[in-house]
Chains A and B, each alone.
Chain A
Amino acid sequence: MLYKKPQIQYYPYIVQRDDYKCVRCLGCVEQCSYDATFYDEELDVIWNKHEACVGCKRCEAMCPTDAIKIVPNPSRPYEHGSWKWDLVMDAYLQANTGSIIITGIGNDKPYRVYFDHLLIDACQVTNPSIDPLREPMELRTFLGRKGQRIELDETVDGNLALKTRLAPQLQLETPIMFSAMSYGSINLNFQESMARAAVQLGTYWNTGEGGLHKRLYPYAGSGIVQVASGRFGVSRDYLKAAAAVEIKIGQGAKPGIGGHLPGEKVNADIAETRMIPRGSDAISPAPHHDIYSIEDLRQLIYAIKEATRYEKPVFVKIAAVHNIAAIASGVARAGADVIVLDGFRGGTGAAPKVVRDHVGIPVEVAIAVVDKRLRDEGMRNEVSIVATGGIRSSADVIKAIALGADAIYIATAAMLAIGCTLCQTCNTGRCAWGITTNDPRLARRQNPEIATEQLANLVKGWSHEMKEMLGAMGINSIESLKGNRLRLRTIGLSEKESEILGVLPAGM
């Protein structure tokens, strides 16, 4: 049949191959996991089924003679101010399938990125800036409840000793952690790489809701383990091994939506780690079925604290949604040591596109309003704030911290560090970069030895840049920047937006 339906014929990408430069090594054929590239032996030519290409650029990266370029198809559907080409394609697609469109990565719609409307201060004349190469500069951060005051005791030999029992703290050498990505949604090579990089960097990684694989127990001391609505992999050893426990209520990419790892992806290893039968669907319900109120949440928080002998901070992760300040206040009152705010630009392995693109609020706004609310209520010291979902650079980290966060999590940035090209097909399980797949042919594309180094490099690079920015501001410790919104100015925002962010406009 030669006729192709519009959503196939108006494909988004064209694989351009310079046939003279192509030496027929067949690398691209092998690399393409979407069946878009073929070798025709009879004609001795490499063909592409452009309509199958997802634009992952894997073949382009691997071609030894630079013969391939993946380019947007200029004949994508026409668009105008309101109907963008992808909306047209979605309409075509759904007219054929009648089903929900599932996608991966994060919100790609051009909503305002508040980080890009915030400017950072620097010192001139009246207060000196600091050169981080010559003077000490501290990024060390402690996460956990700080309490109202401490009491000291005098010991027999006249020294002072701490009388107050401090709440458990996580010590981070840099306020950048690796966010929750579960084994199952990503593969073990990538998870191991994050774990190894976290150990190397003196920071933390997060298991996500898929349990802790036995191979990763040696890195669990730098690990935060998740307890999510599916309770996968939660066991005594799991809680015991970790540095902290995170209760996942929501995810920025899909607030109010649960998770679903289809049975065909649940291989023996994933099944063992998640503690579910092999081949069974791993379904995380949208809500925790035992949490319908702040009081219920408090019960779970304290159940976990009790189980971990009050030795580990308990995180509660919530998606940034309307009324986030009130919700966070409730979470703090429920006894969380750390609140994780996940903005609507956060990533996901799979989510309904309509939810990914239209539900939730930006993390910048969430940090600002939550920090303010907790201060107003006199309980900011009772809980740390970790921001995630849309952190793209060291400048974003500095801005997030100045807005009121204690630390941040990265996930999409971590995937970029190991090759992700944002092709948004994580949900297919065929990631050509070997990141969001457990296909043994693809997972081996991440060699933990290489990936660990790349991840550590990214965080090191950002940390150096943060020190430079702090130095320019005349600050020698990240602590002094926390919630210091006077070091920020807005640009191009309305008065109301500036007011919500609690930041003065540029020029003031």
Chain B
Amino acid sequence: MQKVVIVEDFCIACYNCEVACVATHSRSEEPIKAYKRENLRGRSNALVEVNGPIAFSAMCRHCKHPWCLDTCISGAIQRLDNGIVYLDEERCVGCWGCVLGCPYGVAHPNLKGEEKHAFKCDLCIDRLEAGLKPACVEACPNKALIYDETMEETEGAYNR
């Protein structure tokens, strides 16, 4: 299956991917309203990590063998037919199994919302169905995130 390819060489830590992810998963789909009215700050499924000159945006790798799914006690995490590992926030009970189980640290606990649940990248499933690219990919100004249907699924597949 396809996933967002992370190009570590060119991430410039601009955080546009995070804002785009929050906005696209909000009711208003408006960044300012999403952060200020819907209280979605800190709810990006993509997380930009910065360490010295190195930066990259990390989001779910939609593993063939999802460790998060193994640990999920409520059946909230499923691997869909198209390969997307989907976390249903309604069914999540907030046991943080996936948070601990994910080797990439990309399943996150929602610590400040009223509802206790985990959240993770859904590969912008609604956008994909509408024929669009994932929001973070579209927002990235430096081609540090790529979504290419023709690209093979291998970790670190992108080599210049």
Contact = CB atoms under 8 A, between A and B. Distances in A.
B159 to A, nearest CB: 13
A24 interface: yes
Interface in B1-25: 9-16, 18-20
Nearest to B9: A444
B56 to A, nearest CB: 11
Contacts of B109: none
Given A23-B31, A23-B36, A25-B19, A444 B12 contact: yes
B141 A62 contact: yes
A25 B142 contact: no
Interface string B31-64: 1100110000100000000101101000000000
B: interface residue count bin: 20 to 34
B143 A23 contact: no
A1 B36 CA distance: 37
B14 A447 contact: no
A455 to B, nearest CB: 16
B16 A64 contact: yes
B41 A24 contact: yes
Given A64-B139, A450-B142, A30 B52 contact: no
B24 to A, nearest CB: 12
A62 B14 contact: yes
A59 to B, nearest CB: 10
Contact of B143 (A26, A27, A441, A447): A447
Nearest to B23: A64
Contacts of B139: 64
Residue from A23, A31, A440, A445 whose CB has the most chain B CB atoms within 10 Å: A23
Interface in A429-452: 434, 439-441, 444-445, 447, 449-450
A242 B18 CA distance: 45
A31 B41 contact: no
Nearest to B139: A64
B144 to A, nearest CB: 8
A441 B53 CA distance: 4
A208 to B, nearest CB: 23
A20 B33 CA distance: 10
A21 B16 CA distance: 14
A30 B20 contact: no
Interface in B122-142: 139, 141-142
Contacts of A31: 12-14
Interface string A13-36: 000000011011111001100000
Residue from B13, B31, B36 whose CB has the most chain A CB atoms within 10 Å: B13
B142 A447 contact: yes
A444 B32 contact: no
B17 to A, nearest CB: 9
Interface string A433-476: 01000011100110101100000000000000000000000000
Contacts of B18: 25
B143 A440 contact: no
Contacts, number: 64
Contacts of B16: 25, 27, 62, 64
Nearest to A450: B143
Contact of B53 (A24, A64, A65, A440): A440
Contacts of A25: 15-16, 18-19
B14 A27 contact: yes
Contacts of A444: 9-12, 53, 142
A23 B10 contact: no
B35 A23 contact: yes
B54 to A, nearest CB: 8
B20 to A, nearest CB: 7
A65 B32 contact: yes
Contact of A445 (B35, B50, B52, B142): B142
A258 B52 CA distance: 34
Nearest to B42: A24
A64 B12 contact: no
A26 B11 contact: no
A444 B12 CA distance: 7
Residue from A21, A64, A434 whose CB has the most chain B CB atoms within 10 Å: A64
Interface string A155-186: 00000000000000000000000000000000
A334 B31 CA distance: 64
Contacts of B52: 441
Residue from A20, A21, A27, A449 whose CB has the most chain B CB atoms within 10 Å: A27
Contacts of A445: 12, 142
Interface in A23-66: 23-27, 30-31, 62, 64-65
A64 B141 CA distance: 11
B39 to A, nearest CB: 12
Given A23-B31, A445-B142, 9 more contacts: A23-B35, A27-B13, A27-B14, A30-B13, A62-B16, A65-B32, A440-B53, A447-B10, A447-B144
30 contacts: A20-B32, A21-B32, A23-B19, A23-B32, A25-B15, A25-B18, A25-B19, A26-B15, A27-B14, A27-B16, A27-B19, A30-B13, A30-B15, A31-B12, A31-B14, A64-B20, A64-B139, A65-B31, A65-B32, A439-B53, A441-B52, A441-B53, A444-B9, A444-B10, A444-B11, A444-B53, A445-B12, A445-B142, A447-B144, A449-B143
